[in-house]
Amino acid sequence: MGIVILLLMLAGVGLMLTRKLPTAFTLVLLAVAIAAVVGAPFTGENSIIDTVLQEGAVAQAATMLAVLIGSWMGKLMAETGIASTLVRKIVEFGGDRPTVVALGVLLVSALVGTVTGSAPAAMMAGIIGIPAMIAVGVPKTTAAGTILMGIAAGMPFELPIWQFFSTTLNLPVDTVRGFMLKLFPFAVVFAVLFVLIETRRKGVEHTWSLAAPGERSAADRRRNRARQLGDAPWYALLAPLVPLVLALGFELAIIPSMLAGVLYALVTTTRPREMSKRLLRTLYGAFDIAAPPIALFVAIGILLAAVTLPGAVEALNPLVTAISPGHPVIFVVVFALLTPLCLYRGPLNVFGLGAGIAGVLISAGIYPAVAVLGLTASYNQVFGVADPTSTQTVWAAQYSGISPQQVMVRTLPYVWCVALGGLIVTAATQL
């Protein structure tokens, strides 16, 4: 039976890779198929309807809410000019030194990404940051990579991610935070190394371009919107730090911390009589941004519910036990070599089938949940930057005028090292 489940998973990967079916739909289909082959009843306890579809669909509710509030804050930071002011100030201070400007944009991407999530952060930091970097001579691929590596540097502190791992792996947020603190130095060091090495290796590039002012893109129109807004006050620029300080420094729960960030961004930028209108408008706008990840989290919850059904665990246990390395060194070597399998929506992508595999590893008792956290969080660092199918990578590449594959090739060595660091920490402390 375990083999049948693995074949179903393989078919699911095929559907996702060939883009025959969107990831979320594939995961739901896969979940129902797994539940059916392990003989789960239609209704009742451990059933397809009540357990997999009903309980699974809402299992990630806290994550979905965190994603929504993150998008809300992102929308607010964009509308009030906080994000654009941050980047503009970095360019003004960094000035004519491409490396300094790139390091500044890296910092802004990391900071914004911690609260808004990866895709909105790429857009907020990139809309001004990418052309600004190119204008001071940073080559296009390095500019796109800088935005993504910045997001990856902030990813260990991305609050919706904490909530996701906490819910998915059934771990307290404190435990997730503890591991992320260990992963953070690797993410930061390799992000900074990316900027320093790539700006040195590729040098500067200046073009005499014919791009006509009349040919305005959607991004230009967004810039024009910023034109009407002007600079946000300096104290409003601290807004992305508020949720981080509360959640990390004061160990406050994730959702209240993020709500505090929303309120801070609002009161520091908005006149009292406009507050309620702006709050509602940005909240409704946030639903558009948050819709794709929320749909994915519904599907992930459903898949997790299916692979943790007693029948599925029983079927997969011998197989997974046989192929999972137990020795810490082999664990690091094997999973480091398997890292590319999280790209292109591959089977180790934690926001896809990888979540199901993580669920199997825990429910079958192969590795402690904290070790699975280490494994998946390490892979997430790779997926979030180098996967040519992830929203932020596609957006940053296209906005820079290059292909997502070029970004993947340039950034993969660095994020692979981050994943290796995370795997070593995991093996050293949890196995």
| Chain positions contacting another protein, by CB under 8 A | 84, 87-89, 91-96, 127-128, 131-132, 135-137, 139, 201-215, 220, 223-224, 226-231
Minimum CB–partner distance for residue 88 and another protein (Å) = 5
Minimum CB–partner distance for residue 227 and another protein (Å) = 4
Spatial neighbors of 63 by CB under 8 A, at least 6 apart, are 160, 163, 164, 167, 168, 297
- CA–CA separation, 423 and 381 (whole Å): 11
Give residue 236's identity as a one-letter amino acid code: A
Phi, psi of 37 (to 5 degrees): -70, -25
Minimum CB–partner distance for residue 115 and another protein (Å) = 23
Pick the closer one to another protein by CB: 202 or 281: 202
Minimum CB–partner distance for residue 128 and another protein (Å) = 4
Pick the closer one to another protein by CB: 211 or 322: 211
- CA–CA separation, 81 and 90 (whole Å): 14
Pick the closer one to another protein by CB: 134 or 173: 134
Give residue 135's identity as a one-letter amino acid code: A
Pick the closer one to another protein by CB: 70 or 94: 94
Give me the sign of the Cα torsion angle 404, 405, 409, 414. positive
Query: What 8-state DSSP symbol labels residue 55?
Result: I
Copy the structure tokens of residue 46: 């451990």
Copy the structure tokens of residue 18: 């060939």
For the residues of 99-143, what is the DSSP string, one character each? HHHHHHHHHHHHHHHHHH-HHHHHHHHHHHHHHHHHHTT--HHHH
Copy the structure tokens of residue 113: 């990404």
Minimum CB–partner distance for residue 392 and another protein (Å) = 19
Minimum CB–partner distance for residue 65 and another protein (Å) = 33
